[in-house]
């Protein structure tokens, strides 16, 4: 839960840049449950006592005196369907949300996003918190597709840890910003399949890329 609290503090600090609103979760140590942010509590006011623990299997609340985020269903669905998933970050960040409103996928206009996905598609609109929205997210996510946009809503990013999910969310939001600005000038060039494959090979050869790459 400490990792989740630390990620929440970072997202709060970034909110001036990206806009805020959303929720985050992390699988608990024993893997059969997960911690999620509570509903209706400002992110800067969340401490360990406000966090909510839910069962991965049933979604039943195990710990916490507050109600879970209203969007808990897709968190539960992803953990239940995907063993590798250890953390989820959901943001109503500015540029991902802008692209979602015009049904435009985040394209590989920069190689940095390759560890998240080649392209981040837009899932059809569904009411927040609904089983329909959860189903769409659960089916779209895979180890090769670690993020999706939700139409007229925002983005969801999944990682093996909540820190990784947070990093994926930032990479999608940043790439959406580059794509948005480039599109104001002309249609941006998109990396080809061969170029993306070469980036994947370079990353696996040199380990995790740093900011300087
Ligand atoms: Zn939302």
Distance in Å, CA 192 to ligand 1 centroid: 32
Q: What is the pLDDT of residue 20?
A: 56
Is 78 a domain residue?
Answer: yes
Q: What is the pLDDT of residue 213?
A: 52
More confident residue, 36 or 29: 36
Is 212 a domain residue?
Answer: no
CATH value at residue 104:
3.40.225.10
Q: What is the pLDDT of residue 208?
A: 58
| Structural domain of 106 | 2-206
C-alpha span between 94 and 126 (Å, rounded) = 19
Is 157 a domain residue?
Answer: yes
For the segment 16-31, the average pLDDT, to the nearest whole number, is 77
Distance in Å, CA 203 to ligand 1 centroid: 32
Is 53 a domain residue?
Answer: yes
Residue 212, pLDDT > 80, answer: no
For the segment 131-143, the average pLDDT, to the nearest whole number, is 98
For the segment 5-28, the average pLDDT, to the nearest whole number, is 82
Burial of 120 by CB count in 10 Å (0-12 exposed, 13-18 middle, 19+ buried)? buried
Is 211 a domain residue?
Answer: no
Q: How far is CA 13 from CA 16, 18, 19, 94, 192, in A?
A: 7, 10, 10, 15, 35
Q: How far is CA 28 from CA 64, 65, 150, 157, 211, in A?
A: 14, 18, 26, 18, 30
Residue 200: which pLDDT band, with cuts at 50, 70 and 90?
A: very high
Is 165 a domain residue?
Answer: yes
Residue 44, pLDDT > 90, answer: no
Distance in Å, CA 19 to ligand 1 centroid: 12
Distance in Å, CA 143 to ligand 1 centroid: 22
Residues of the chain with pLDDT > 90, as a percent, come to 81
Q: What is the pLDDT of residue 106?
A: 98
What domain count does the chain have?
A: 1
Q: What is the pLDDT of residues 143-185, one digit of tens each?
A: 999 999 999 999 999 999 999 999 999 999 999 999 999 999 9
Q: What is the pLDDT of residue 45?
A: 81
Distance in Å, CA 194 to ligand 1 centroid: 34
Q: What is the pLDDT of residue 85?
A: 97
Q: What is the pLDDT of residues 92-101, one digit of tens each?
A: 999 999 999 9
Distance in Å, CA 93 to ligand 1 centroid: 10
Residue 57, pLDDT > 60, answer: yes
Mean pLDDT, the chain, integer: 92
For the segment 114-129, the average pLDDT, to the nearest whole number, is 97
Is 126 a domain residue?
Answer: yes
Distance in Å, CA 109 to ligand 1 centroid: 25
C-alpha span between 113 and 111 (Å, rounded) = 6
Residue 207: which pLDDT band, with cuts at 50, 70 and 90?
A: low
* Catalytic residue set: 71
Residue 21, pLDDT > 80, answer: no
């Amino acid at each position: 839960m400490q990792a989740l609290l630390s990620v929440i503090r970072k997202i709060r600090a970034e909110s001036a840049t990206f806009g805020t609103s959303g929720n985050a979760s992390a699988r608990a140590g024993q893997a059969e449950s997960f911690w999620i942010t509570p509903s209706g509590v400002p992110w800067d006011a969340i401490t360990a006592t406000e966090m909510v623990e839910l069962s991965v299997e049933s979604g039943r609340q195990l710990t916490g005196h507050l109600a879970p985020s209203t969007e808990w269903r897709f968190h539960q669905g992803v953990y239940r369907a995907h063993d590798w998933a250890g953390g989820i970050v959901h943001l109503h960040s500015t540029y991902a949300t802008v692209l979602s409103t015009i049904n435009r996928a985040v394209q590989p206009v920069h190689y940095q996003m390759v560890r998240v996905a080649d392209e981040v598609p837009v899932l059809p609109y569904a009411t927040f918190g609904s089983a329909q929205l959860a189903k769409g997210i659960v089916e779209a996510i895979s180890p090769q597709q670690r993020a999706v946009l939700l139409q007229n809503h925002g983005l969801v990013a999944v990682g093996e840890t909540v820190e990784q999910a947070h990093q994926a969310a930032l990479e999608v939001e940043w790439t959406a910003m580059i794509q948005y600005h480039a599109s104001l000038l002309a249609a941006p060039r998109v990396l080809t399949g061969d170029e993306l494959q070469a980036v994947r090979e370079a990353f696996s050869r040199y380990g995790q890329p740093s900011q300087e790459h």
